[in-house]
Amino acid sequence: MKTKPILIVLATLIIGFVLGMLTSAQIRYHKLKPMRVYFSEERFRDGFFQTIQPDEQQKAKIDLVLNKYARINSELQSTFRKDLDASMKLFRKEVDSNLTKEQVARLKEMDERRQKMTRKNRRNYENDTINNNDRRHNPNRKPSPESPPPPGFP
């Protein structure tokens, strides 16, 4: 007789927990979605056009400017990642000399877990339906006309 109310309470808690997780994930997704606009040249362009909704004349003129700055943003992100990786390697080289073998082993283990997570996230990102227009993930996408490189950038 008492098992029925307990099962109902447990089922209610489990359903509430699942709904809470799904709601939380959707809220985070929608809050972070605007930031994703800057992570590829195509998203940068599409996000900007969706925001301003230009007419055809404006679109032609603005597209030239967007080509320039989309490329600059992409180069900056690439340079940042390379510089960060180089800096972290130098940091590890210096700090490892002050650590015990056990501490170095723990750091290596942490790095391996981080790399696994990064690979997993990249795989999830590639399967993300939002990325269908991203040129890195859509080999059938036709490239947009490129403008000449901006002055001061190689």
The residue type of 103 is: Q
* 151 DSSP 8-state letter: T
CA angle 34, 128, 113 (to 5 degrees): 95
Alpha helices, DSSP H only, in the chain? 3-32, 41-52, 56-96, 101-126
- Tens-digit pLDDT profile for residues 95-120: 988 889 999 899 889 888 888 887 77
Question: How many C-beta neighbours within 10 Å does residue 63 have?
Answer: 18
SS3 for 34? helix
- Tens-digit pLDDT profile for residues 43-92: 777 778 888 888 888 888 888 888 888 888 888 888 988 999 899 889 98
Distance between CA atoms of residues 41 and 66, nearest Å: 9
